[in-house]
Amino acid sequence: MPQLLLATPAMAAEYSNWFVNRRAYTRQSDRPHPESGRHFYYRPGSKAGAEVALEVEDVRRHLAGEITLGIYAINPGNQRVKWMAIDADYRRSLDDLLKLQYELQQDGIQAALEQSRRGGHLWILFETPVLAKLARIYIRHLAGKLAVQVKSTGPSDGIELFPKQDRIEAGQFGNAIRGPLGVHRAVNRRYWFYGAAHDLEAQLAYLRELRRVSESRLAELVAELEIPDEVSTTPRRYPPSGFQILDFLEPGQLRRVGRNWVTRCPSCAATGRDRGKDNLAVSVEEPMKYLCWAGCTSSQIRAALGAPAPALAR
Ligand SMILES: [Zn+2]
């Protein structure tokens, strides 16, 4: 690793504008944990136990390679994010990231690919902070279209999205990811973006030029999403029931957004969620197709509507 990296306060301030969503942060430990042997991330606290807020000087030291910061995705004040990152670290993960990068390009989105220890991080920057939920809907859909697995809980392969949550409550943090251009303490090396020469100035110039995605463009992309055909593990041994979800929804509560009707998901509503009344999407063209962006299954939605799916005939 080149030692003479002149990280200036101006660089740190600019980097903070791009990447820092809130002043809580994590740091990668300089030494491995005595038991696990791993370099872990922790939230620095003062001696009095109070939270320590990130300063521009911390960011400068991160860029200089003296410390390594983990940054949080969501600003809890408005549930918005300045960026979205896709983390992949399994075998062949680079293939998946390149597929995603290509597909994003088809939607006019430039995503920056950063190397990591075992795979990579793909970064999308927004012109102004966008709702975490909107960014997640778009990327999850894109991954689904490409058959790229999104990691679920427990040990499994798949990409991880940052933000990992649609929203966080006061006092919560969500998940942090290593700040771009940080040095991994375990191997004492820096992981660069593929798009530029391997020095700090060139890398920052590359990020500066990266096209930012506007909130209106993102909203447009989400409005144009197609609801996939229902994925069902049960064989279709009988003709479709003819269940029409629109028969069960209040017409006055439906809003047309792009190619879909949008309303509160009945299953989410049953547990007091989806106050924004926009989780359920029903295809205008093919109203048999509907989807809850928060992940409720079709049987949960039907049960909440009092129209459970009939059991399969034997
Ligand atoms: Zn739902």
CA 15 to centroid of ligand 1, rounded, Å:
37
Residues 6+ apart with CB under 8 A from 208: 14
- Rounded distance from Cα 304 to ligand 1 centre (Å): 10
Q: What is the 276 CA–ligand 1 centroid distance (Å)?
A: 12
Give distance in angstroms: CA of 277 to centre of ligand 1: 10
Most confident of 89-93, 170-174, 199-203, 236-240: 199-203
Ligand 1 centroid distance, CA of 272 (Å): 10
Residue 196 carries which DSSP code? S
Residues with CB under 5 A from ligand 1 (ion): 265, 267-268, 279, 292, 294, 296
- pLDDT one-digit tens code per residue, 87-139: 999 988 999 999 999 999 999 999 999 998 889 999 999 999 999 999 999 99
| Residue 46 in this model has a pLDDT that exceeds 70 | no
pTM of the model: 0.85
Please give the domain boundaries of the chain with CATH numbers for all domains: 9-219 (3.90.920.20), 226-304 (no CATH)
Integer Cα distance of 116 and 194 in angstroms: 11
For residue 279, how far is its CA from the centre of ligand 1 (angstroms)? 6
**What is the predicted pLDDT for the residue at 61?**
96
Ligand 1 centroid from CA 9, angstroms: 45
Q: Which two tokens stand for residue 287?
A: 């109203």
pLDDT in tens, 13-35: 999 999 999 999 999 998 899 88
Q: From the CA of 313, how far away is ligand 1's center (Å)?
A: 27
